[in-house]
Amino acid sequence: MKVKRILSAKSGDVITIRPDAPIRDAVALLTEHNIGALVVMAEGESRPVGIISERDIIHRSSVSESLFSEPVESIMTSELITGMPQDDLYSVAHTMTEKRFRHLPILDEGKLVGIISIGDVMKAQRDAYRGEIDTRETQLLAGAE
């Protein structure tokens, strides 16, 4: 299965934030949309400049009282790993698990088209397995008749 099959049923816009926005705004957006990470997009650019996750914010808030007024770019991850719609789901699952990150922005010809979380990947894998088990079970039962 390919990554684009996860994105097919996620038509909503990707929630993004500017690098110079205060972290307070990032927290508000994460809460409003009930998501775990925001893609950071600079004005006039189609390629993301970074990603900021709730973990990034929690970790830094323990050492900085003034964190919420600081700009997103001060704590975002700028060495971004991105995927593409043609990526294989199983390879992506492996890479996210091994490299320990939970959100993968998806670019198509350099343009941001979506983001998938480790939760999306797990659900897609679970459903694929369930589907296969169900299909094999139906066939076995039919064979036994």
Partner 1 sequence: MPEVGTEQNPLRVAIVGAGPTGFYTAEQLFKQKQYTVEVDMYERLPTPFGLVRYGVAPDHQKIKSVTKIFDRVAKKPGFRFFGNVELGKDISVADLRNYYHQIVYTTGAQTDRSLGIPGEELDGSYAATEFVAWYNGHPDFRECKFDLSVERAAVVGVGNVAVDVCRILSRTPEELARTDIADYALEALRESNIREVYMIGRRGPAQAAFTTPEIKELGELEDAEVWVPPAEATLDELSEQALAESSDRATTRKVEIIQSYAEERPTDKSRKLVLRFLVSPVEFIGDENGHLQAIKLVKNELYKTEAGTLRPRHTEEYETVPMGIAFRSIGYRGVPLPGVPFKESWGVILNEAGRVIDSDSGEPVTGEYTAGWIKRGATGVIGTNKPDAAETVDAMMDDLAGGQILDPANPGAEAAREMVEAQQPRRFTYEDWLALDEIEVARGEEQGRPRVKFTTVEKMAEALDK
Is residue 25 at the binding interface for partner 1, with CB under 8 A as the rule? no
3-state secondary structure of 96: helix
| Stretch of 11-19, 33-41, 43-51, 52-60 contacting partner 1, by CB under 8 A | 11-19
SS3 (DSSP) at 58: helix
Answer yes or no whether residue 44 interacts with partner 1 by CB under 8 A: no
Q: Is 45 in the site for partner 1 (CB under 8 A)?
A: no
Given 14, 35, 67, 84, the residue binding partner 1 (CB under 8 A): 84
User: Any contact of residue 29 with partner 1 (CB under 8 A)?
Assistant: no
Separation between Cα atoms, residue 79 and residue 51, nearest integer Å: 9
Q: Taking the complex as a whole, how short is the minimal distance between the CB of residue 11 and partner 1, in angstroms?
A: 4
Q: Which of 36, 61, 87, 117 binds partner 1 (CB under 8 A)?
A: 87
Q: How many CB atoms lie within 10 A of CB 96?
A: 20
DSSP type of residue 71: B
Give me the phi and psi of 27, to 5 degrees please: -60, -40
Q: How far apart are CA 113 and CA 129, in angstroms?
A: 27
Q: Which residues in this chain contact partner 1 in the complex, by CB under 8 A?
A: 1-13, 81-88, 90-92, 94-95, 104, 126-128, 130-135, 138-139, 141-143
